[in-house]
A = this chain, B = another copy of it.
Amino acid sequence: MRIIVPFTDRDPKSRLTPVLSTTERREFALAMLCDVVDAVEGVGHEPELLVPEPLDFEGPATGDDAPGVGLDADAVERLESLPATVDDRPLTAAVNAALDDGSDRDPVQAVVMADLALATPTALRRLFAAGGDVAIAPGRGGGTNALVVRDPGFSVDYHGASYRDHRRIAAEADLPVAVVDSMRLATDVDEPSDLLEVLLHGDGRARRWLVDAGFEVGSGSDGRVGVRRR
């Protein structure tokens, strides 16, 4: 199985801007990518990165106020060693091109988003073992966080409610769809409220990064739970 992990470090995780600086967002995004790579490797596959430009691990000079908490050298080395396809088109076009390009080499391909900080080998194994010519792990909010494609007649469309669109595209091509019911795969980390899920359920680099950056679980007097930063 060929596993494509799209990733960009062009202004990554912009919806976390209220709580993280530019440098921090970039580091946190890379930490999540490492977690996804770990999970994929835990199932016994080597992921391929799909990036709009070669990753620059030195990091751009941002002139940013907050320096970040740093990325460990092992993580950087590991990411640098992964095969990568560079395609600067928007996500949908780049993924479809990668799928088209690979379908001769491997009849089973998967696309796993890079911000699934809760992904585990167990959760991915459930997705990879699901039947269907297309297997989908829906994301919270209508997205498609991971999918397996076993038929070249399928193409992706990540704009809007992609979960619904992917079901429609599969139905139009008469391709059976399996849906995987996983909170871990449904949790893409976009918003500040998602950080709570990483703190509560993560056990990888992304969670450690948040802890190192001073984030912790906090409860208000009303019993509502959130994150706060020391």
A residues lining the B interface (CB < 8 Å): 120, 122-123, 138, 140-143, 159-161, 163-164, 181-187, 193, 196-197, 200-201, 217, 219, 223-225
Contact = CB atoms under 8 A, between A and B. Distances in A.
Given A183-B138, A225-B141, A164 B197 contact: no
A160 B196 contact: no
A223 B183 contact: no
Given A141-B193, A142-B200, 6 more contacts: A123-B181, A142-B225, A160-B219, A161-B217, A181-B182, A183-B183
When all copies of this chain in the complex are counted, the total is: 2
Contacts of A217: 142, 161, 164
Contacts of A183: 138, 140, 181-183, 185-186
Given A140-B183, A182-B182, A184-B181, A160 B197 contact: no
Nearest to A190: B224
B123 A159 contact: no
Nearest to A139: B183
A contact face: mostly helix, strand, loop, or mixed: mixed
8 contacts: A138-B201, A141-B196, A143-B225, A160-B219, A160-B225, A161-B225, A181-B184, A183-B183
Nearest to A186: B183
Given A186-B186, A219-B160, A142 B181 contact: no
Instruction: List the 9 closest pairs (A to B, CB-CB), nearest first.
Output: A142-B225, A183-B186, A160-B219, A161-B225, A183-B183, A159-B223, A181-B184, A181-B182, A160-B223
A140 B140 contact: yes
Contacts of A200: 138, 142, 161, 163-164
A187 B225 CA distance: 16
A196 to B, nearest CB: 6
A77 to B, nearest CB: 31
